[in-house]
Amino acid sequence: MNVPADLRFTSSHEWVRLEGEIATVGISDHAQEELTDVVFVELPGIGRTVDAGDPTAVVESVKAASDIYAPISGEVVEANPAVEGDPSLVNSDPYGDGWIFKLRVKNTADVDGLLTPEQYIAQIG
């Protein structure tokens, strides 16, 4: 199971990479494996303000639609057009080209409240 050491996670299987005040968000390798075959990604509108826990994007497999929640509060500043065109990137490269959206976070300290890789491994183990 691929759980990169430099990321933070949520119990709902999103990952967060914080660079300055920008947080990149995607779904974990474990989540993409559970969903299998992502066939559609619905991206959030740029400029939308979200609170931690708000449904912000939707990732769909053949069988089901799954909400992707904002791990922390902030404003959507970017959404990945590549996954809209090729949803399978979420499967093939969940921590890289398969990222879903970027937030300008309200409070960078919020990231400290998310799961560490060790805690996330313990949850999915």
Binding residues vs another protein (CB under 8 A): 36-37, 39-40, 42, 58, 60-63, 65
Residue 125 structure tokens: 């183990």
Neighbours of 91 (CB within 10 A): 18
CA distances from 92 to 4, 78, 80 (A): 15, 21, 15
Least distance from another protein to the Cβ atom of residue 105, Å: 26
CB of 91 to another protein, least distance (A): 9
Q: Of the two residues 39 and 77, which places its CB atom closer to another protein in the complex?
A: 39
The Cα–Cα gap between 21 and 24 comes to 10
Q: Please identify, using beta-carbon distances, which residue of 24 and 66 lies nearer to another protein.
A: 66
CB nearer to another protein: pick between 72 and 76: 76
Cβ-based nearer residue to another protein, 42 or 93: 42
Exposed, middle or buried: residue 47 (CB in 10 Å: 0-12, 13-18, 19+)?
A: exposed
Nearest residue to 27 (alpha-carbon basis) of 45, 38, 18: 38
